[in-house]
Structure 1
Amino acid sequence: MRRVLVSGCLGGSPVRFNATGVDVCSPIWDRWAAEGRLVSFCPELSVGLPVPRPPAEIVGGVAAEVLDGDGRVREVTGRDVTDLFRVAARRAVDRARAAGVVLAVLVDRSPTCGTSQVHDGSFTGRTIPGRGLAAELLVRAGIPVFHQGQLTQAAALLDGLDRDD
């Protein structure tokens, strides 16, 4: 069975930086859960970041640049957490591969999991087009990423892969 990597906070688990989760109300999500397809994983927790934790944003670049050695990830406090976020991204890919994941559904606007938008590094709430580090590394590994508002598109891809068997 093909599986779907999902951000640990999706489905309501309160593991986000502010100790909240993101509810997902969708028959697609419910079906995948019933079929045992969901592989829940929080990259930030996997590297020991606490809940709650200070907000973090990509500054001075985009995820691809951070992964390639340029750009940084900083907490609102100024603490540089770039190395932790790089390791978190690698752990997401490792978890996806180990679980036989073929696509990921991640929470958008996160410096780790963002798939179409991330915060701009100013800690003012502004967003810009882009991906988080784990989303970028998953794409590099050949795993398509979607955000929680794109379940229909993700399901179409998964259904197509299942039909190809």
Structure 2
Amino acid sequence: MKVVSGCFAGIHCTYKKGHNRVDEIQRLVREGKAIPVCPEQLGGLSTPRPPAEIIGGDGDDVLDGKAKVIDIHGKDVTDEFISGAEEALQVALSIGATEALLKESSPSCGSCKIYDGTHTGKKKEGIGVTTALFRRHGIIVASEETWNEEEKTE
């Protein structure tokens, strides 16, 4: 059983109230092989919501209190991102998930890169808050960009 970003399952939960549906991942959810989560919604953020980026590091730094998640209006939403990551982790643990497929570049879900904190659309190497927490608990995280083709048929 896997945890997947809710937007991959066609749920309108992105900050713009859109989705990032991936047919193969949506199929896994339909077949009961994956559970969708949106850490940002689980943390209490609205949909739609102002875009947010990690300032001063990446998801590990946020969990360690060394970086913040700030929305485009300057509001600190760090607590919501941490709370959402913790809620998503509880879902993952409750279903015995050992793997997650999460949205690349997201400040919650990025597994290789995230936006650089300047709100200019530029990206940097780094991971999101939920990915950092999942990895600290032994959950393997991949994205739609790194997901192994063989896994798509599982």
Taking structure 1 as the reference length, the TM-score comes to: 0.86
Aligned CA RMSD, in angstroms, stands at 1.8
Q: Secondary structure at the match of 1:10?
A: helix
Alignment counterpart, residue 45 of structure 2, candidates 33, 38, 49: 49
The aligned residue for residue 35 of structure 1 is: 31
For residues 79-129 of structure 1, the C-alpha deviation after alignment (integer angstroms, 9 at most, x for no partner) is 001111111111111110001111000011100011111000000000011
Q: Which residues in structure 2 correspond to 1:2-17 (within 5 Å)?
A: 3-17=1-15
| Alpha-carbon distance between aligned partners in 1 of 2:31 and 2:98, rounded to the nearest angstrom | 15
Query: Match for 2:88 among 64, 85, 92?
Result: 92
CA distance in 2, matches of 1:31, 1:83: 32
**1:47 and 1:84 in contact (8 A); partners too:** yes
Secondary structure, aligned partner of 2:8: coil
Shift of 1:30: 5.8
TM-score (norm 2): 0.92
Contact 2:8 2:26 in 1 (8 A): no
Following superposition, the deviation at residue 149 of structure 1 comes to 2.5
**Structure 1 equivalent of residue 109 of structure 2:** 113
SS of the equivalent of 1:149 reads coil
Unaligned runs of 5+ in 2: none
Output the CA distance in 2 between the equivalents of 1:75 and 1:35: 36
Question: Take 2:150 and 2:11, find their aligned partners in 1: how far apart are those partners?
Answer: 21
Please name the residue that 2:98 is paired with: 102
Tell me, what secondary structure is at the counterpart of 1:101? Answer: coil
Shift of 1:34: 4.8
C-alpha distance in 1 between matches for 2:79 and 2:150: 30
- Point out the structure with max Rg over C-alpha: 1
Q: Hey, what's the Cα distance between the residues in 2 that align with 1:126 and 1:16?
A: 18
Task: Give the Å deviation of 1:14.
Answer: 1.2
Alignment: residue pair count: 154
Q: For structure 1, which runs of at least 5 residues remain unmatched after alignment?
A: 160-165
